[in-house]
Amino acid sequence: MSLLLTPPNSGEKPIPFDELVAKVKAELPETLPRDLNEILIALDVDGTILLPEGASNRVLDAFHTLNESGATVVIATGRGTEGVRPVWRHLQADSGWSVCSNGAVAAHWNPTFDDGVEIIRTHTFNPAPVIDRLCEAMPDVYLGVEVHKGFLISRTFPGSVFFEDTWVRDVAELRETDTPRLVAMAEDMNIVEFESSLKDMGIGDIAQYAVGWTTWVDIGPKGCTKATGLQDLVDELGIAPHATIAVGDGMNDIEMLTWAAHGVAMGSALPEVRRAANAVTGSVENDGAAAVMCALVERSKERA
């Protein structure tokens, strides 16, 4: 399957890359350290660094240059740990840091670890109350709970929607499985109906949730977001708060864009996401994330 379940093309007009880098660099705050060894940059995956066919050459080059220059580059995603594994492989990187499952899991990747990954922190919740509300309001809902190597699912989901292994189990077993992430999909609704139903059933009162571009929702522990996951890493690594930057395009990126000292929304981001950011770069089609990485590298070579 594709590396991602991609959002629709943004339709953004082509932007000369050098102009985009210059714009992004001019918007970087003076308080952001120029020494890349002090910087932590969090990058969303789908719709930020990846196109349907994968990362562009510009993104790959910028990622490696920034990484090799000493910056702490973090993959911050709604994907589970196993869903991040092919991303690292595609980026041709075998070590690094990731915030997975919308902040519920913080992980360190290194080939010397067992299975290549060490879980730093995991936050879980009991999904039973959420599952009960979903099943009552959406009798035909598809459910999945994330476990160590994949998902326990209530039945086979339509299409190729999982990067991980899946095992069909009774809903009763799903209810009893503490998890960092519950996913739900409603095939017979449009996204407006889906979002309205989630709001009406009060999912946000008992859990944290984010809807993407389809009738799919990620649900996690209340108060757990990419921002809290990144804070876990910042605490672990001793990164200064003013040395953090985040780049993303989705509704599940809002908290981390607000949390970072400098949040950058992609050009394809919805208005709510843009408002949460300090600046806006180009869309993924225009290598907006690469422009941010290149701007940091260029700025590091200049005198203050």
Mean pLDDT by 10 residues, the chain (304 residues): 59 95 98 98 96 93 97 97 93 94 97 94 98 98 95 93 92 99 96 97 98 93 98 96 98 98 97 98 98 99 80
CB 104 within 8 A of CB 180: yes
Q: What are phi and psi of 199, to 5 degrees?
A: -65, -45
Write down the pLDDT at residue 176.
Answer: 98
For the chain, the domains span 17-123+225-301, 127-220
CB 267 within 8 A of CB 286: yes
Which element (helix H / strand E) includes 97?
strand 96-100
Q: What CATH number labels 17-123+225-301?
A: 3.40.50.1000
Pick the CATH number of 127-220 from 3.40.640.10, 3.30.1240.10, 3.30.420.40, 3.20.20.20: 3.30.1240.10
Write down the pLDDT at residue 6.
Answer: 60
Which pTM does this prediction carry? 0.95
Write down the pLDDT at residue 1.
Answer: 40
Write down the pLDDT at residue 149.
Answer: 87
Task: Give counts: helices (H), strands (E), the chain.
Answer: 11, 14
Write down the pLDDT at residue 31.
Answer: 98
